Structure 1
Amino acid sequence: MGRTEYYHDPKAPKANTLIPASNLLVVNAEGAILLQRRRDTGQWALPGGAQDIGESPAQCAVRECEEETGIIAEVTGFLGVYSNPAHIIAYTDGEIRQQYETVYIGRPVGGTPTINDEADGVRWATEAELASLDIHPSMHEQIGHYLQGTYPYLG
């Protein structure tokens, strides 16, 4: 399913859904951050996705991380809640979603970086490398809050 993201764009369509989702900002022992390159947008992002019924937001973040990157991680902290009415994701099936993400901090405990249906690249990025990567502004915001130590973010 294709998608188009709108970020502070006055031409964005009006949202018709709000789906709880969770991201996991995984940091390895060297301080590098785990990123996946999304097949649908081509941009680098934190692993994450929609929460399933029967799981907690933290369980969702851990599951999505393993599904999208091959990395098994554990939650070590909470970064914040991100729900920006000016961040709209329009899907080709007609769903128009307002961003709503709980973002956790984690560390790797196993697995191997692996591409899949959703990600055509998986990598560890140092803080110095982040500026050279095509990363959506909402992900830059989340990573920036982590790097600046300004969390939990409750915006």
Structure 2
Amino acid sequence: MGRTEYYNDSKAPKANTLIPASNLLVVNDDGAILLQRRRDTGQWALPGGAQDIGESPAHCAVRECEEETGIVAEVTGFLGVYSNPAHIIEYTDGEIRQQYEAAYIGRPVGGAPAVNDEADGVRWVLPEELDGLDIHASMREQIGHYLSGNYPYLG
């Protein structure tokens, strides 16, 4: 399913859904952050996705991380709630979603970086390497809050 993201764009269509989702900002012992390159947008992002019925937001973040990156992680903290009415994601099936993400901080406990159906790249990125990557503004915001220590963010 394809998608188009609108961020502070006056031409964005009106949202018709709000789906709870979770992200996991995983940091290894070297201070590198786990990122995946999304197949649908080509941009680097934190692992994350929609919450399933029967799971908590934290469990969703851990599950999505393993599914999208191959890394098994555990939650070590809470980064914040990110729900920006000006961040709209339009899917080819007609869904137009307003961003809503509970973002967690985690550490790796197993697995190895692996590409999959959703990500064509997975890697550990040191903070000084971030500017060399195409990262969506919403992900930059979350990473920036983590790196500055400005969390939990309750936007």
Bucket of the pairwise TM-score, normalised by the shorter protein: over 0.9
CA distance in 1, matches of 2:139, 2:125: 13
Partner of 2:20: 20
Structure 2 residue 40 is the aligned partner of structure 1 residue 40: yes
Partner of 1:58: 58
User: Structure 1 regions of 5+ residues with no counterpart?
Assistant: none
CA distance in 2, matches of 1:103, 1:127: 18
Task: Trace 1:94-133 onto structure 2 (pairs within 5 A).
Answer: 94-133=94-133
CA distance in 2, matches of 1:13, 1:125: 33
Amino acid at match of 2:76: T
Shift of 1:101: 0.1
Two-structure CA RMSD over aligned residues (Å): 0.2
CA distance in 2, matches of 1:126, 1:6: 27
CA distance in 1, matches of 2:154, 2:23: 15
Amino acid at match of 1:134: D
Q: Provide runs of 4+ in structure 1 moved above 3 Å.
A: none
CA distance in 2, matches of 1:92, 1:65: 24
Partner of 2:29: 29
Query: Secondary structure at the residue paired with 1:140?
Result: helix
CA distance in 2, matches of 1:28, 1:15: 36
TM-score between the two structures when normalised by the length of structure 2: 1.00
Partner of 1:140: 140
Query: What's the CA shift string for 1:70-128, capped at 9, x where partnerless?
Result: 00000000000000000000000000000000000000000010000000000000000
Shift of 1:39: 0.1
Shift of 1:144: 0.0
Shift of 1:67: 0.0
CA distance in 1, matches of 2:151, 2:88: 23
CA distance in 2, matches of 1:14, 1:96: 7
Amino acid at match of 1:62: V
Query: What's the CA shift string for 1:42-82, capped at 9, x where partnerless?
Result: 00000000000000000000000000000000000000000
CA distance in 2, matches of 1:25, 1:54: 22
CA distance in 1, matches of 2:8, 2:126: 28
Report the identity percentage: 86
